[in-house]
Amino acid sequence: MLTEQDTRLLGTPQPSQEHQDGLAVTVLIPAHNEEATIEPAIASLWEQERRPDQIVVVADNCSDRTVELALGAGAQVLETIDNTDKKAGGLNQALDLLLPGSGEQDNFMIMDADTALVPEFLDTAMSRLATDPDLGAVGGLFFGEPGGGLVGALQRNEYTRYQRDLALNERKVMVLSGTASVFRAQALRAVATARGDVLPGRHGQVYDTLAMTEDNELTVALKTLGYQMVSPAECRNVTEVMTDWKSLWRQRERWQRGAIENLRVYGWTPTTRKYWGQQLGIAYGVLSLQLFFLLLIMTMLSVSSFAFYPFWIGVSLVFVIERVVTVWPAGWKARLIAAPLVIEIFYDIFIQAVFVKSVYDAIRRKDAGWNYVPREA
């Protein structure tokens, strides 16, 4: 773990804690101008049923009050030096200091600065790691924060359905959420050692700085090395939603393009087969929806009058019920948005358009850029 003797580390360390399981966890929060959200994020950590042993905010090229507010909230701060690799580069600098001094009992949580955890998150994650030696990581289930109008509501519905599916099978983890996930130190060391040989990236670094979506790439890396992972239903967190269509497009384009590029780098392996299948499934969904609309238009143009058939009304009701039931825990607003179908169909078309554009740009090898959304303090 980092110590106060490290001259780059600002702030006062917390008193050492002893846990029955003998495990320790340090939380790393990468932050670039996050003065609007850093205090609530740190507060949610201090409110954990099992408090972290250390909280370190990795401040990367901050020009606002992020460092000041983080120190005031009781965290320690590590400021990056000459980092040009954004989030992955900042985390690599911190882990370069952390990993050499860590032992088998040490673990690290990587948590976004715009995320807040439920109180039982860390206790659940550490209990899983203590009782299952085969686990290399425990991922969080993220839900959207309030606000954002219709755009925000549609994202919350999407996240609710995704987390519902994952909660039904907590080991069906495709991505260890970048919002909040806990890793064994030995698993991260194994990744750093395998870089440049078994895994892509620079030898000795945990994160591949060329990956557009570092959380997706790290998940594939850990699975390639044989590590197992879970995302328990108790490990919930609330994270930001995009508040306009342009920001949402940029976010999803980076996510989708990053997933495609990771598959390009890793190729076809036993680990990536499911990920290739996932992308093919999305492509099939795009084609199916467009064929449906084509059939609908052709039908409307070829008939002189409309008739309602009980069978097709029943089929439509099944779809409505499915959409409403799968967002039921999110409240009545979520159900009202889901019930008409047409609103969420439009959202599906939007997401599918992002997929098509991402595939096209990947073929052209166009730079996807970075999606940073500033927030008001």
At residue 371, does pLDDT exceed 60? no
- CB within 8 Å of 41: residues ≥ 6 apart: 29, 34, 111, 112, 113, 114, 115, 116
- CB within 8 Å of 201: residues ≥ 6 apart: 195, 207, 208, 209, 210, 211
Asked if residue 281 and residue 219 are part of one domain, the reply reads: no
8 A C-beta contact, residue 187 and residue 137: yes
Using 50, 70 and 90 to split pLDDT, how confident is the model at 374?
A: low
Q: Which residues pair with 324 in a beta bridge?
A: none
Using 50, 70 and 90 to split pLDDT, how confident is the model at 5?
A: very low
Asked if residue 312 and residue 183 are part of one domain, the reply reads: no
Residue 340 lies in a domain: yes
At residue 151, does pLDDT exceed 70? yes
pLDDT tens digits, residue range 311-367?
878 888 998 999 999 999 999 999 999 999 999 999 999 999 999 999 999 999 887
Distance CA 53, CA 93 (A): 20
pLDDT tens digits, residue range 66-91?
999 999 999 999 999 999 999 999 99
Domains of the chain: total: 2
* Concatenated DSSP letters of 122-170: HHHHHHHHHH-TTEEEEE-EEEEPS-SHHHHHHHHHHHHHHHHHHHHST
In this prediction, residue 278 carries a pLDDT of 96
pLDDT tens digits, residue range 224-264?
999 999 999 999 999 999 999 999 999 999 999 999 999 99
In this prediction, residue 375 carries a pLDDT of 53
Pairing of strands 135-139, 180-184: antiparallel
Residue 320 lies in a domain: yes
Q: Is 198 helix (H, G, I), strand (E, B) or coil?
A: coil
Q: Residue 208 is part of a domain; what is its CATH number?
A: 3.90.550.10
Using 50, 70 and 90 to split pLDDT, how confident is the model at 6?
A: low
At residue 3, does pLDDT exceed 60? no
Across the range 166-176, mean pLDDT stands at: 87
Q: In whole numbers, what is the pLDDT of the chain averaged over residues?
A: 92
Asked if residue 143 and residue 281 are part of one domain, the reply reads: no
* Among the listed residues 223, 224, 185, the one whose alpha carbon sits nearest the alpha carbon of residue 206: 185
The structure's pTM equals 0.91
Asked if residue 312 and residue 204 are part of one domain, the reply reads: no
Asked if residue 226 and residue 172 are part of one domain, the reply reads: yes
Domain span at residue 14 reads: 9-242
Using 50, 70 and 90 to split pLDDT, how confident is the model at 306?
A: confident
Residue 285 lies in a domain: yes
Using 50, 70 and 90 to split pLDDT, how confident is the model at 373?
A: low
